[in-house]
């Protein structure tokens, strides 16, 4: 979906109009405003912006912001309400499902006595050059774990409205937090001196969409620590659904500690783009493209998902520590791994009803992770000040989305659309992370003369029949399928 807001047209003025292959000095008005691009379908990564096309009606209720005594206490779009707390957290009330996500965005910081391979709590170092330590009978938790919402003496918080119109609104939640400057390897404790770190949440609501989008910027000035963001889902779930390569994987929320293992299981796990906790009536989805580590913590109030925003460490590897009792690689200092400076994480929350496959959460995750390229379709200027005609649909009527999936039920995900490895044709690869069978068609406006089903090495396996610029396709649950066409 592409929307514009706050557009203004200035009076004409003389200036150079620069194009990649043409420059002209012309008298033109200027257009000032914003372009919002979101909810692009999977497989579409290039959006052409054409003047004078599209609808101007809102997809839902306008986004409103309100509060008492001049404060910014909430924003609402008719589908979901975000309530801001004074301690730096925020609550999400989904009007459709009735779910309340209380205390989202809670910040936790702890020491990191590990290395670039693994996080570890302090207090159990393996002496240098020993190479291996005795096994730990119990899992060791962080010895100095702090939460921004309870650390009132060392934090400052304020809210500002970054942008607001009927289509979208963004609120900046700024948190300045004084954290220990470093971790002392000799004492195995965090330092008394502190450095001020800043965390900025840019929280966005859009008209007609129940997704709460957040862009979190961390300016890190401390060393040897791990910063995480907690989302209490309120869902009582024993398992967590995590996005992975070509799949959505179900894992236990809690893992036992096996003291006899060479490297016991840790409570953190890998994920890609998507995390979900689900019960019979529905669940909560956390989208986080680019991040890759989470921990699920269960309690009386449900399952909390903790996503790692930042790990700062000063060593490539160490001889051993609490969570790993031997070295994983060369023991070298790596000061660049302290990750000083600015780091950005995009994430979003959405409650849903029924199952994640029926709610098509895997498609929403792919859509949210999509990074669109914008191409302006304004005409080129001529030397006489005139312009070429605005771009048309083209002689063959090609659409912006070169590949389209037509079918019912949860759609598979387009993993790639690329030239074949041997240069003969184009390859499209789909995967179905659900347990359901998908049957439909793959359609294209690209030239289509023959199609071959292939394995992952792009070797021919089947020969589907072409009809009406496409071919039939079937994907069983948890499968990957590849076709080559030209």
pLDDT of residue 40: 63
- Give the pairing of strands 293-299 and 302-312: antiparallel
Assigned token pair, 163: 């942008």
CA separation for the pair 132, 151 (Å, rounded): 37
Environment class of 408 (CB within 10 Å of its CB; exposed 0-12, middle 13-18, buried 19+): exposed
- Among 4-8, 371-375, 475-479, top mean pLDDT goes to 475-479
Residue 98 binned pLDDT confidence (cut-offs 50, 70, 90): very high
Q: With b meaning 16 or more CB within 10 Å and e meaning fewer, what string describes 174-188? A: bbbbbbbbbbeeeeb
The DSSP call for residue 262 is S
Listed residue (32, 42, 45) closest to 6, CA to CA: 32
CATH 2.70.98.30 in the chain is located at 64-369
Q: Which two tokens stand for residue 327?
A: 């070295």
Q: Which CATH number does the domain 403-485 belong to among 3.40.50.300, 2.60.40.2220, 2.10.210.10, 1.10.3720.10?
A: 2.60.40.2220
Report the chain's mean pLDDT, rounded to a whole number. Answer: 88
Give the residue-averaged pLDDT of 93-102: 97
For 11, phi and psi rounded to 5 degrees? -70, 160
Helix H or strand E segment including 413: strand 413-419
Q: What residue has token string 């194009």?
A: 19
Tell me what pLDDT residue 402 has.
76
User: Do 314 and 223 meet the contact criterion of CB atoms below 8 Å apart?
Assistant: yes
360-380 pLDDT, tens digit each: 999 999 888 876 655 555 555
pLDDT at 392: 44
CB 441 within 8 A of CB 471: yes
The string of DSSP letters for 288-304 reads ETT--EEEEEEETTEEE
Largest CA distance in the chain: 82
pLDDT at 465: 94
Output 157 or 385, whichever has higher pLDDT.
Answer: 157
φ, ψ (nearest 5 deg) of residue 72: -100, 100
For the ranges 14-18, 408-412, 480-484, the one whose mean pLDDT is highest: 480-484
Q: Which residue intervals of the chain bear CATH 2.60.40.2220?
A: 403-485
Q: What percent of the chain lies above the pLDDT cut of 90? A: 70
Residue 299 makes CB contacts below 8 A (sequence gap 6+) with none
- pLDDT tens digits for range 207-263: 999 999 999 999 999 999 999 999 999 999 999 999 998 999 999 999 899 999 988
Q: What is the pLDDT of residue 55?
A: 53
pTM greater than the 0.75 cutoff: yes
What is the rounded average pLDDT of the residues 260-280? 94
pLDDT tens across 39-70, in order? 666 555 555 555 554 556 778 899 999 999 88
CB contact at 8 A, 209 and 60 = yes
Domain at 64-369: CATH code? 2.70.98.30
The per-residue pLDDT for range 350-363, each reduced to its tens digit, is 999 999 999 999 99
CA distance 21 to 172: 40
Q: Name residue 286's beta-bridge partners.
A: 275, 349
| Residue 327, beta-bridge partner list | none
User: Cα dist. 442→40, 294, 325, 329, 355 in Å?
Assistant: 18, 35, 52, 47, 26
> Would you call 53 helix, strand, or coil by DSSP?
coil
> What pLDDT, on a 0 to 100 scale, did the predictor assign at position 394?
44
Which residues are registered as beta bridge partners of 47?
374
pLDDT greater than 70 at residue 73: yes
138-171 per-residue burial string, b: 16 or more CB within 10 A, e: under 16: ebbebbeebbbbebeeebebebeeebbbebbbbb
In the chain, pLDDT over 70 holds for what percent of residues? 83
Predicted local confidence at residue 408, as pLDDT: 85
Model confidence at 384, pLDDT cuts 50, 70, 90, reads low
Q: Which two tokens stand for residue 264?
A: 């016991």
Residue 386 confidence class, pLDDT cut points 50, 70, 90: low
């Amino acid at each position: 979906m592409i929307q514009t807001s706050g557009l203004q047209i200035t009076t004409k003025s003389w200036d150079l109009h620069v194009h990649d292959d043409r420059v002209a000095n012309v008298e033109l008005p200027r257009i000032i405003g914003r372009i919002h691009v979101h909810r692009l379908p999977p497989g579409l990564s290039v959006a052409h912006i054409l003047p004078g096309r599209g609808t101007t009606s809102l997809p839902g209720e306008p986004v409103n912001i309100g509060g008492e005594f001049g404060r910014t206490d909430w924003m609402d779009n008719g589908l979901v309400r975000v309530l801001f707390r004074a301690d730096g957290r925020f609550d999400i009330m989904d009007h459709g499902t009735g779910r309340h996500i209380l205390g989202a965005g809670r910040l936790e910081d702890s020491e990191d006595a590990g290395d670039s391979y693994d996080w570890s709590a302090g207090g159990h170092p393996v002496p240098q050059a020993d190479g291996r330590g005795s096994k730990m009978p119990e899992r060791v938790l962080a010895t100095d774990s702090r939460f921004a919402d309870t650390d009132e003496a060392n934090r400052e918080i304020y809210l500002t409205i970054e942008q607001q119109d009927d289509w979208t609104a963004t609120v900046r939640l700024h948190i300045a937090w004084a954290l220990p400057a470093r971790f002392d390897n000799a004492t195995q404790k965090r330092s008394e001196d502190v450095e001020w770190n800043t965390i900025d949440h840019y929280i966005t609501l859009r008209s007609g969409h129940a997704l709460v989008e957040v862009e979190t910027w961390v300016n890190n000035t401390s060393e040897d620590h791990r910063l995480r963001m907690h989302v209490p889902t309120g869902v009582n779930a024993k398992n967590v659904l995590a996005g992975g390569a070509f799949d959505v994987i179900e894992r236990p929320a809690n893992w036992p500690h096996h003291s006899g293992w060479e490297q016991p299981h840790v409570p953190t796990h890998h994920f890609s783009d998507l995390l979900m906790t689900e019960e019979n009536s529905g669940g909560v989805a956390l989208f986080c493209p680019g991040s890759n580590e989470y921990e699920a913590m269960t309690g009386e109030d449900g399952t909390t998902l903790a996503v790692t925003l930042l790990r700062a460490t000063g060593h490539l590897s160490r001889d051993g520590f609490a969570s790993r009792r031997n070295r994983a690689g060369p023991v070298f200092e790596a000061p660049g791994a302290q990750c000083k400076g600015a780091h950005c994480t995009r994430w979003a929350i959405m409650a849903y009803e029924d199952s994640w496959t029926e709610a098509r959460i895997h498609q929403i995750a792919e859509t949210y992770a999509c990074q669109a390229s914008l191409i302006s379709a304004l005409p080129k200027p001529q030397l006489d000040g005139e312009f070429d005609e605005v771009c048309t649909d083209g002689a063959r009527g090609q659409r912006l989305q070169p590949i389209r999936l037509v079918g019912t039920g949860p759609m598979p995900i387009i993993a790639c659309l690329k030239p074949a490895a041997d240069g003969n044709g184009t390859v499209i690869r789909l995967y179905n992370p659900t347990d359901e069978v998908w049957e439909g068609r793959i359609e294209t406006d690209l030239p289509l003369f023959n199609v071959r089903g292939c394995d992952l090495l792009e070797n021919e396996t089947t020969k589907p029949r072409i009809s009406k610029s496409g071919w039939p396709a079937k994907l069983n649950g948890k499968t990957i399928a590849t076709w080559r066409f030209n």
